Structure formats: structure tokens, C-alpha cells
Amino acid sequence: MISIENIFIALFAYFIDKIFGEFSFIKHPVIIIGDIITFFENKLYKKSIFRGLLLVLAVLTIVSFFVIALQKSLEIIFPSFINFFFYIFISSMFIAHKMLRDSVEDVLHRTDKREAISMLVSRDTKELSESDIYKAAIETYAENLSDGVIAPLFYLILFGLPGIVIYKTINTMDSMIGYKNEKYEKFGKVAARLDDIANYIPSRLTALLIMIIAKQKNYFSFYQDGKKHDSPNAGHPITAMALALGIQLGGDTSYFGKMKKKATFGEGKKEIDQESVKEALRLL
């Protein structure tokens, strides 16, 4: 349920992440969640949708129990104004805006740009032109604005601390097992579909926010190209960013040595330079 307290927690958590990023003195909670996922994958893995469902249920049950127990314990031990700051600190660790920006900026500043972009994308990078590298950086930035920034804040505002933690758990499961390959096609299907559902509204909110900030005339024009993406969600923020910057994103891409035909997003210039990446970073 939306509350003024959750809105303020979200605002402060966002700015703490924007200023400080990840804290090195504490193990990142997403790494802990990843350890839990790995534990159950080792115990449950088979090429089975049902086994994948069991993993999702087990991980969500454990994480939900822990975060609710933590919240209740803090409420018993500390006064509400102290808990307010605890919730801000904890929530900030589930937002990844600074890390995302730093990673994209690294592509701009590194001498070996192909190596830098290879840390962000799964596509083949050895043959990428400089324009292709910048295109990949902008696509990554746009897509991850949704699941790394807007979606966590969305669920934090709606459901408080449990909301942001459970969302990131779903997102992390998708990142670890939600692949369309021989190993995870069945086992990761439930995790992938759950992530699609969780990101349905935030991805469109991200696209709309980009369009509004960029002062585009038709705020919802992102939808026409956005729906062409293989993902039900990723295409919308990517299209919005393409329209905002006056460039074309997407297009055929090589993965593991095989060229894959992909839709294009936006109708602007195809040759993308550093300035377009910088403009994307300035935009949001």
C-alpha cells in the first residue's frame, strides 16, 4: 500500500545509491539471494518446469520470511524514526543506478571499449564497430533503468521493504536461470515468466518517464516499436530512449557466433557516437 513514508524512503534510498553506490563493508544482499538460488538449483535442477517452480517457491518463501521477520524485529527493537533510516539504507542496496551509470561511462572512457561493453552484454563483441558499441551501451542503459532503478522503486513505494526485496529476488532468479537455452529452457521458465509479469508495469513507466523528460510530443509513441522486441518489456524503454535521442537502436545482432535477426527501434540516425551515450546519461 502506498504511503508517504514509503515515498520518502524511496527518494532517500535513490539518492543514497546515486551518491554512494554499493557499500564495500557489507555483503551485498543480492549476492546472498544469489547464494540461496544456487543452493536450491544444486538441489532441484532437472530439465523440468515443475522443478523450476519448486525453486521459485522455495526461494521466495525463504526471502519473504526473512525480510518480514527482519522488519518486525526492527519494529520491536527500535523506535519508528530509527527504522526509517534502516529502511532507507537497506532499500538503497537494491537500487543500481550508480553502478549502471558507472558501467556505461566506463565504456566511454576505456581504451579497449570492446572489453568494457563485453562486461555489460551477452552479444558477441569482438567484431563490433565503435557505433555498435555505443548502441549496445545505450540499449543496456535503457533496459536496466527499468529493472535496476524504476522497478525497485515502484515496488518499494507500493509495498515497502518487502516489495523491493521480493522484486529483486524475482529479477535475480531470472538473471541466473531464466535463459532460453538447453539447460534452462524448462527449469528457468517459471522464473522468466514471473520476471516478465513483475516488470510489465515498471518497463512501461520507465519508457513513459523517458518520453516525458525528453519532452516528446506523443508520450506513448514508444509502444509501436517497443512491442516488436522478443521480450514483452525490454523494447519499451529501449524504443523510448531511441526516440528521445533521435537514433535507431536494435537490429541484427550476433550471439555465440550466430547472427540473430532483431527488430529496430526508432527511426533516427544509425551511426551512434559518444555524444548520444552522454545524452542518454544526462537524460535520466
Q: What are the domain boundaries of the chain?
A: 4-283
Per-residue pLDDT tens over the stretch 232-272: 999 999 999 999 999 999 998 888 778 888 899 998 999 99
Does this model's pTM top 0.85? My answer is yes
pLDDT of residue 1: 65
- pLDDT at position 180 is 87
CB hemisphere CA count around 125 (13 angstroms): 18
Residue pLDDT, tens place only, 22-41: 998 899 999 999 999 999 99
pLDDT digits (tens, 9 = 90+) for 174-197: 999 999 889 999 999 999 999 999
Q: How much is the pLDDT for 253?
A: 86
